[in-house]
Amino acid sequence: MRLYLAALFVAGTLAAQPPMELVKSHFLGVWKLVSYESKGPSGEVTKPYGDKPQGRLAYENDGHFSLQIMRPGARFRLITRTSLPAETSKEDFAEAWFGSWDIDPDSETVLHQIDDSVQPAQIGTSFSRSYNFWNNRMILTANAPGRVTRAVWQHDLN
């Protein structure tokens, strides 16, 4: 009898939880970057952060997130609003920002509102990514005119 009541309680609790909250729960935690590729209009694939990019993406339950991505061994330089050093190469760049996030389960997209970034032009902007979950991995895809970017993240359980 107790087992039956416990099963009813669990079933009732799951049924009462909104679908959006169930979907959001898949995002929570820290994710480790596995791969990052960008495909251009002619089909060429580039890896702007190299073959073994490094990165972390953290989604918090209170609606905040943070992201850092860089090429392994890169010499990261903080770029000011006024100048870009002439000797700066693409390998010197990194992505780092934080802000708030929410999802649209109907369109299967996650929306990121950037509160602050190492790239000043990104501050106050927002971007959305299509999401897909597979085992302990999350795939975020951006479709921009003429370019598709795909980042694969693995849930970092350590």
Q: Cα separations (Å) of 62 from 2, 29, 102, 130, 132?
A: 35, 12, 10, 21, 22
Mean of the pLDDT values across residues 113-120?
A: 92
Token pair of 140 as six digits:
């975020």
Count the residues in the chain: 158
Which pLDDT belongs to residue 156? 74
**At 80, is the pLDDT very low, low, confident or very high (cuts 50, 70, 90)?**
very low
Query: For the whole prediction, is pTM greater than 0.85?
Result: no
User: Between residues 11 and 118, which one has the greater pLDDT?
Assistant: 118
Residue whose C-alpha is closest to residue 49's, from 67, 69, 34, 66: 69
Mean of the pLDDT values across residues 101-127?
A: 94
Residue whose C-alpha is closest to residue 89's, from 75, 73, 109, 99: 75
Between CA 143 and CA 124 the distance in angstroms is 20
Between CA 28 and CA 140 the distance in angstroms is 14
DSSP SS3 for 102: strand
> Any idea what the Cα angle at residue 144 is, between residues 131 and 37, rounded to 5°?
65
